[in-house]
Amino acid sequence: MNDDQLLRYSRHILLDEIGIEGQERILAAHVLIVGAGGLGSPAALFLGSAGVGRLTLVDDDVVDLTNLQRQIAHTTGRVGQPKVESAAQAVRAINPLVSVHALRQRVDAQALDRLVAQADVVLDCTDNYRTRQAINAACVRGARPLVAGAAIRFDGQVSVYDPRRGDTPCYACLFPPDALFDEVACSTMGVFAPMVGIIGTMQAAEALKLIAGVGRSLAGRLLMLDGRDMQWTEMRTERDPACPVCGALHAQAG
């Protein structure tokens, strides 16, 4: 690190758990964020400010006026622009040292396999159940840790799904791909603005912990937040040996 970097990241370096070695791991890391909306906004901004060396942002949507109530990476002046370009601009304004790659596209399994393989950590910041399943499957195939968050109304949840570990579940162990799932959208159900900030920020924190090797990740634990009472609930989660996504992989490893 040069003198400017030592100064910029000094508050991380002062932490015994991170120090210079941990910050260098952050600088060398590549994080893939799928979704540049309510969750992706704070996640990208905090990962960028923390010095993650490369960020790849993926989203096919454009900034809408209704997004600005909660999607803090975007501005009134960028309404109509692709969300990934707007978010990339916001990250670069905070930290021009970060390499940001903006991809405006809807990803399929093939694209996800390629993108996941290039990343050290993947963040699922989407609001679509089918896309969530596709991201999880790609992370299982690519053996990459996945930090998944969700928020609607006054409720939020966050967890880590780490296929490198044989003792913790993948996303599909908890939420089966073939389950009948009623999609709920912010456009019809509403969302408390700070809720996406809380969950997206926690996703950034879990990603940085995984990269720097700090503490214990949320793998094997699902945190749920009731924003009405600001009450956190932790649920222990277990791997499903019959899981159609990760079951065969762990069976082979065993």
The answer to whether 58 and 69 are in contact (CB under 8 A) is no
Over residues 3-30, the pLDDT tens digits come to 999 999 999 999 999 999 999 999 999 9
Mean pLDDT, the chain, whole residue set = 94
Q: What are phi and psi of 239, to 5 degrees?
A: -70, 140
- Going by the DSSP 8-state scheme, the letter that residue 98 receives in this structure is S
The band of 212, judged by pLDDT with boundaries at 50, 70 and 90, is very high
Q: How far apart are CA 30 and CA 123, in angstroms?
A: 11
Over residues 28-49, the pLDDT tens digits come to 999 999 999 999 999 999 999 9
By three-state DSSP, how is residue 203 classified?
helix
**Res 254 pLDDT > 70:** no
Q: pTM for the complete prediction?
A: 0.94
Domains in the chain, number? 1
The full DSSP string for 109-175 is HHHHHHHHHH-SEEEE----HHHHHHHHHHHHHHT--EEEEEEEBTEEEEEEE-TT-TTS--HHHHS
What are the tokens at 106? 């809807």
Q: Which range of residues forms the domain containing residue 82?
A: 3-253
**Res 123 pLDDT > 60:** yes
Q: Left if phi > 0, otherwise alpha if psi is -120 to 50, otherwise beta: which for 31?
A: beta
The band of 248, judged by pLDDT with boundaries at 50, 70 and 90, is confident
The band of 189, judged by pLDDT with boundaries at 50, 70 and 90, is confident
Q: What is the pLDDT of residue 219?
A: 97
Q: What is the pLDDT of residue 187?
A: 58
Mark whether 170 is an active-site residue: no
Q: What is the pLDDT of residue 250?
A: 55
CATH of the domain at 95: 3.40.50.720
Q: Active site residue: 170, 186, 243, 246, which one?
A: 186
Query: Taking residues 88-115, what's their average pLDDT?
Result: 96
Query: Taking residues 150-163, what's their average pLDDT?
Result: 97
Residue 79: which of 60, 59, 61, 64 has the closest Cα? Answer: 64
